Copies of this chain bind each other. A is one copy, B any other.
Amino acid sequence: MVLDPPLASPIVGRLVVIGVGLIGSSILHAARARGLAGTRVAYDASPAVRERVLALGLADLVAATPEQAVRDADIVILCVPVGAMGAVAKEIGPHLKQGAIVSDVGSVKGAVLSALRAHLPEGVHIIPGHPVAGTEYSGPDSGFATLFKNRWSILTPPEGADPAAVAKLVELWSAMGANVETMTADHHDLVLAITSHVPHLIAYNIVGTAADLETVTQSEVIKYSAGGFRDFTRIAASDPTMWRDVFLNNREAVLEVLGRFTEDLIALQRSIRWAEGDKLFDLFTRTRAIRRSIIEIGQETAAPDFGRAHD
- The complex places the Cα of A14 from the Cα of B269 at a distance, in Å, of 43
Asked if B304 and A142 sit within 8 Å, CB to CB, the answer is yes
Asked if A229 and B262 sit within 8 Å, CB to CB, the answer is no
Q: Does A64 sit within 8 A of B, measured CB to CB?
A: no
- The complex places the Cα of A199 from the Cα of B265 at a distance, in Å, of 12
Asked if A264 and B205 sit within 8 Å, CB to CB, the answer is yes
Least CB distance, A198 to chain B, in whole angstroms: 7
Given A1-B309, A304-B137, A240 and B285 contact (CB-CB distance below 8 Å): yes
Asked if A216 and B202 sit within 8 Å, CB to CB, the answer is no
- The complex places the Cα of A169 from the Cα of B84 at a distance, in Å, of 57
- The complex places the Cα of A258 from the Cα of B267 at a distance, in Å, of 12
- CB within 8 Å of B: which A1-52 residues: 1
Which of B196, B211, B244, B272 touches A247 (beta carbons < 8 Å)?
B272
- The complex places the Cα of A75 from the Cα of B260 at a distance, in Å, of 48
Contacts of A257 in B (CB 8 A): 209, 213
Least CB distance, A182 to chain B, in whole angstroms: 13
Least CB distance, A230 to chain B, in whole angstroms: 5
Q: Does A86 sit within 8 A of B, measured CB to CB?
A: no
Which of B107, B144, B241, B290 touches A233 (beta carbons < 8 Å)?
B290
Contacts of A284 in B (CB 8 A): 204, 236, 238, 240, 243-244
Main secondary structure of the interface of A (DSSP, over half): helix
Which segment, of A90-98, A119-127, A146-154, A156-164, faces chain B?
A: A146-154
Which of B154, B264, B269, B299 touches A225 (beta carbons < 8 Å)?
B299
Residues of A in contact (CB 8 Å), total 110
Beyond the given pairs A135-B304, A146-B310, A236-B288, 14 more chain A to chain B contacts, judged by CB atoms under 8 angstroms and listed by A's residue number, are A1-B310, A136-B304, A191-B224, A192-B224, A195-B221, A197-B228, A203-B228, A204-B287, A213-B257, A225-B300, A237-B292, A244-B284, A258-B265, A258-B272
**Chain A residues proximal to chain B, CB less than 8 Å:** 1, 107, 132-137, 142, 144, 146-147, 149, 151-152, 154, 181, 190-192, 194-213, 215-216, 218, 220-238, 240-241, 243-244, 247-248, 251, 254-255, 257-258, 260-262, 264-266, 268-269, 272-273, 275, 277, 280-281, 283-288, 290-294, 297, 299-301, 304-311
| A–B complex contacts, Cβ < 8 Å, 28 sampled | A1-B310, A134-B226, A134-B305, A149-B310, A152-B223, A154-B224, A190-B216, A191-B224, A194-B216, A195-B216, A196-B229, A199-B229, A205-B265, A207-B291, A208-B287, A209-B264, A222-B293, A222-B294, A222-B297, A226-B299, A233-B290, A240-B281, A240-B284, A243-B280, A251-B273, A255-B269, A255-B272, A262-B262
